[in-house]
Amino acid sequence: MRPPILAPIHRQGWPFIALFALVTVGLAAISSFLGWIGLLLTAWCVFFFRDPGRAVPDRAGLVVSPADGIVTLIEPAVPPRELGLEPTPRPRISVFMNVFDVHVNRAPIAGTVARMSYRPGSFFNASLDKASEQNERQSIRLALADGRDIVMVQIAGLVARRIVNWVAEGDALATGQRLGMIRFGSRVDIYLPDGVQPLVGEGQRAIAGETVLADLASDEPARRVIPL
């Protein structure tokens, strides 16, 4: 069976699409120019809520990107304190999603949701380093079968005003499983176990559920980015 040419729309998007379409009808009644603007915004809303399938790698130990977007930061950082982890810096990979990226987030690796914590905050540009600490966020600690853990943090951005989650503490997740989304434009941070090296570089585009960020079973050194 051939895959569909157009990506399916996530069910959470239909109320927004209907609202945009209704507003478009009202704008078109006022003037054709406003109607065309409304139509473009409605088309963007449809595009925003697309939810394409992904070819997820199956090998144990692979950490895949939880989000579509650009890897903006790779640096040691302390995981959110509300998760109750030791205040020890870990390798952190930040993936920034703009308003044109797919915003459905996926589990970076198979594991059990050991702890979740929501913290309100500011709405700075999500590409800034301070967004990890000061912006509204939803933190998820995944316990792995080997006793280690990985932390995933959904961070609201300058435009985003809603972090949505579809999982709860105790849930067993598969690699690449859909677990939430952020509306509209945002960032996701991944905190790797100590000693694990990222296999991506800053400026690289990541695809949720497909791009391998790290390999827990490998001692391969961190990637080196060659400037243009």
Long-range contacts of 20-24 (CB under 8 A, 24+ apart): 20/45
SS3 call for 41: helix
Rounded (5°) CA angle 184-40-13: 40
186 in catalytic set: yes
The closest alpha carbon to 140, from 180, 101, 104, belongs to 180
The active-site residue, picked from 65, 127, 132, 186, is 186
Q: How far apart are CA 106 and CA 152, in angstroms?
A: 10
State the catalytic residues: 186
